[in-house]
Structure 1
Amino acid sequence: MADVEKENLKNLEEKQKSRPGTGSQGKVSKPPSAGSGPASRPHSRTSPAPSRKSVSRNGSARSSAKGRPGSKISNMSGDVSDQSDNEDTRSKTTMEEGDGEGSDGYDTDLEIEDKRIEYDSTGRTTYKEACKQIGVVPVSYFLRHMQDSELVMMHHGLGPLGAKAIATSLVTNTTILKLNLRDNWLEAQGGKYIAEMLVENCYIHDLDLSYNKIGNDGAEPIAEMLQDNSTLDRVLLSGNGFGDKAAEAFAEAIMSNQKMEEMDLSHNEFGEVSGGLLGPAIAENSQMKVLDLSWNHLRRKGALAVSEGIRDNITITHLDLSWNGFGDDGAEAIGDALKSNKTLEFLDMSNNRISTEGAVLLAKGLIENDTLRVLKMGKNPMQSAGCYGVLKGISQNEKSAIQELDFSDILVNDDFDELLKQVKEMLPALLVKTAERVHGRGGAAKDFKKAKPRADPMTKLKQYVEKNNLRLVDLFNQFDKDKSMSVTREEFAQGIEATGIDLSPDELNRLLDTLDKDGDGEIEYGELVFGAQAHQEQERKMAKKRMKKQKQTQA
């Protein structure tokens, strides 16, 4: 037994002697201290500091070095030979991102800078990607003008999908402050996309979505957006086919929004019910200054409700109610409103079926009002007596602020002329327009002169067609870019201007009114043909009258 124990002890001592790092006595030897042994070799310029990342110029050199334990490339920056696969992959990616000048296998001491993606405030990249996903062609005009403060994209035929792509990019756009998408056939869905964008965008403060056929379905998301939006101060929604259902949504928006200063809801289909909804909202709003409700169907109770809203409103200065159907009852209600309202400065009541009686009733409000500066009542069947009644009301108000009266297309008699002379002594700056005369500012009798005979714009149009050997369809095709055989009033006006036909603004407006018989804001080719035929028939009648008069004179 003693011999066996001795043998085992001998074997254990031999194992301890053969273990690396031990001395002859079987003790583990310690590594030399920092102060002992030879000094470490200083780093050269080509040797990276331990705290710096390094890049290998040659991927193959990296691979071969990795196979050599203890090499500089495999151990620099504190790396150890037993790094995980993830660390090795990350190190390889770092090397590939270096901007070396060659593949010479040398290391570099250049520090690697992190790549930063610059924020695209215009949304250009987002727009291109959105177009790709939606399947629409990017609009080059939009891409060129994304950094403008005002983006005008009228008549581009975007449609709902085009609007979606644009809305997607405008969510993050910070440069565009005014957005004009008039006449782009956005329809209800396109209107919804724009509304959703405006919930997020807090830079756009001026919006024009007129003539886009948005309809009642598209009105709701737009109105909901307006209730909470605190950026938009001007919103134009003319000619979108809004009716009673839309009026309910917009009434909520007008009542809630305390930022919007101008709103255009003209050329829509608001009727009696709509007036009943909009009137109370107008009364509650305390921010709006300009409101356009012209070219609707506000009559009877609807007209009365709107008038009552104006009576109680304390901020609106500019109001356009022309081309509705207020009638005499509505005129009386407006007269009552003028007695109480202390902010209104501009009022357009043109073409509202107001008779002589209605004009006299409205004039009662002018006796007490001291803020209204411009009153337009042209194209009403009020005759000279109605104009006289309005002027009489002003003459009885020493504090009247009236500067302009518009009685366009209404013939006045000598009684009106005499009263006007008296009023001019009280208000020398007063400008009065009638069917035949324009009394300018100044007060002298010589200023009261006959207006020049008005040229017939249809005659000028006919002369242009004949001179250039055109057909009506050829002329219309110049205006009709999308070949839909229908153009907006704006497109027709732009086309007339491009042809060089010499029409004054008044003549152009009369031409548009003549052709746009249904008042829908668009002129179809058929309406142009009908207008030309009616003009030709009128010329024939006038020629017959001249011939008859000439014969009578000769006899």
Structure 2
Amino acid sequence: ARRPGELGEDTLYLRSCRAHSVVPASCFLRQGSAPELSLRHRGLGPQGAWALAHALTSNPYVKRLDLRDNGLCGAGAEALAGALSKTRSICDVDLSENRLGAEGARAICAALVVSPAVQRVQLAGNGLEEQAAQYLAELLLAHTGLKSLDLSYNQLNDQAGLTELNVRWNHLRGPGAIAFARGLEANIFLRVLDISYNGCGDSGASAVGEALKTNNVLEELYMSNNRISEAGALNLGLGLRVNQTLRILADIQVNREFDDLASSVKVILPGLCIKTAARRVEYKKELLAIFRPSE
């Protein structure tokens, strides 16, 4: 008789193992119906990952998946990405020490973007460098439900942080635009963001303004053709009262209230460039001062 939590002999996992010519992990058979599946240090490799991925796709029990140190590499990450993009049960994933590299990071990040259930991800010690930073930045912007991301013991140096994301001509509008904007609050990579030609509107602009209050990384922001009225621009400006890093804010609508306010104070931080869509006026000096309270 099987013990509680054990899977039967004729399971999808066993069939997948046979199909991929890999030895089944006995601990999966013991834990397959448990909420936590720990397979760390099992040497699964890419083929083992494929077998496991097929089983996870139809497994509604596993909440936490621990695959630390299994030599998954990029190919194994691609296999698991397919499962992560389909499952609605897994909320905690540990893929540390698997030599994922840039391709593995690309696959996992793409899967997590469409996996709102996942809230905690560990990618420590995977040799992630500058190329992987782009995928990670996109993940942080798109997955606003992500609560914890461990990137320790990688090679994400200062250069990896100098990342530019161009999402012009997409369909960011309404709740999606607000969620995307809120992702800026957790951004640790992006220096340049272009979200022009979307449909952010005033609500999206206000959300960006809120994000700018806590974001301390972004330096250039382009928002032309987003249906932002003067009211939205003013709400966006409120974020600049607190933000300390933004140097360029381009292509926003202004009205006289905004313009008069911009001209009234010229004290703090010369060098900020704001281009307005209304008259294409380029303010090259001191504009940021108007949004920041005096010391």
**Pair in the same fold by TM > 0.5:** yes
Shift of 1:340: 3.5
8 Å contact kept, 2:163–2:190: no
Shift of 1:286: 2.4
- 1:210 aligned partner: 96
8 Å contact kept, 1:287–1:315: no
Which of the numbers 95, 105, 120 marks the counterpart of 1:234?
120
Which of the numbers 161, 166, 170 marks the counterpart of 2:52?
166
- 1:274 aligned partner: 160
Alpha-carbon displacement from aligned partner over 1:367-386 (angstroms, at most 9, x marks no partner):
xxxxxxxxxxxxxxxxxxxx
* Letter in structure 2 aligned against 1:180: D
SS in 2 for 1:286: helix
- 2:11 aligned partner: 125
8 Å contact kept, 1:182–1:212: yes
Q: 1:273 to 1:132 in 2, by over 3 A?
A: same
Question: Equivalents in 1 of 2:212, 2:93: separation in Å?
Answer: 24
Which of the numbers 6, 19, 23 marks the counterpart of 1:137?
23
* Letter in structure 1 aligned against 2:16: A
Q: 1:285 to 1:153 in 2, by over 3 A?
A: farther
Whichever of the two has the greater Rg, that structure is 1
Q: Pick the structure with more helix per residue.
A: 1
Shift of 1:127: 0.5
Question: Equivalents in 2 of 1:315, 1:123: separation in Å?
Answer: 52
8 Å contact kept, 2:53–2:83: yes
Q: 1:245 to 1:304 in 2, by over 3 A?
A: closer
Shift of 1:153: 1.5
Which of the numbers 81, 91, 95 marks the counterpart of 1:195?
81
Alpha-carbon displacement from aligned partner over 1:74-113 (angstroms, at most 9, x marks no partner):
xxxxxxxxxxxxxxxxxxxxxxxxxxxxxxxxxxxxxxxx
Q: 1:145 to 1:230 in 2, by over 3 A?
A: same
Alpha-carbon displacement from aligned partner over 1:250-278 (angstroms, at most 9, x marks no partner):
21111111221111112111133321228
* Letter in structure 2 aligned against 1:218: G
Question: Equivalents in 1 of 2:112, 2:212: separation in Å?
Answer: 19
Question: Equivalents in 2 of 1:121, 1:288: separation in Å?
Answer: 43
Q: 1:170 to 1:224 in 2, by over 3 A?
A: same
1:184 aligns with 2:70: yes
8 Å contact kept, 1:272–1:303: no
8 Å contact kept, 1:191–1:214: yes
Alpha-carbon displacement from aligned partner over 1:88-141 (angstroms, at most 9, x marks no partner):
xxxxxxxxxxxxxxxxxxxxxxxxxxxxxxxx9999610000111110111111
1:244 aligns with 2:119: no
Identity rate of aligned residues, in percent? 32
Question: Equivalents in 1 of 2:186, 2:36: separation in Å?
Answer: 21
- 2:173 aligned partner: none
Normalising by structure 2, report the TM-score. 0.55
- 2:269 aligned partner: none
- 1:146 aligned partner: 32
- 1:260 aligned partner: 146
Question: Equivalents in 2 of 1:155, 1:269: separation in Å?
Answer: 23
- 2:182 aligned partner: 286
Question: Equivalents in 2 of 1:236, 1:186: separation in Å?
Answer: 14
- Residue correspondence of structure 1 range 439-454 to structure 2 within 5 A: none
SS in 1 for 2:162: helix
Shift of 1:167: 0.8
8 Å contact kept, 1:212–1:239: yes
Q: Pick the structure with more strand per residue.
A: 2
Q: 1:304 to 1:245 in 2, by over 3 A?
A: closer
- Residue correspondence of structure 1 range 309-328 to structure 2 within 5 A: 312=211
Shift of 1:226: 1.9
Alpha-carbon displacement from aligned partner over 1:328-351 (angstroms, at most 9, x marks no partner):
xxxxxxxxxxx947xxxxxxxxxx
8 Å contact kept, 1:261–1:288: no
Shift of 1:287: 5.7
Which runs of no fewer than 5 residues in structure 1 stay unpaired? 1-119, 294-301, 317-338, 342-555
Aligned residues: 187
* Letter in structure 1 aligned against 2:162: G
8 Å contact kept, 1:146–1:176: yes
Q: 1:175 to 1:126 in 2, by over 3 A?
A: same
CA RMSD of aligned residues (A): 3.6
Greater relative contact order (CA < 8 Å, ≥ 6 in sequence): 2
Question: Equivalents in 2 of 1:288, 1:155: separation in Å?
Answer: 35
8 Å contact kept, 2:39–2:67: yes
Alpha-carbon displacement from aligned partner over 1:184-239 (angstroms, at most 9, x marks no partner):
11111011111111111111011110110010121111111122221111111111
Q: 1:270 to 1:285 in 2, by over 3 A?
A: farther
- Residue correspondence of structure 1 range 57-76 to structure 2 within 5 A: none
Which runs of no fewer than 5 residues in structure 2 stay unpaired? 1-5, 168-179, 193-207, 216-240, 244-295
Q: 1:123 to 1:172 in 2, by over 3 A?
A: farther
Normalising by structure 1, report the TM-score. 0.30
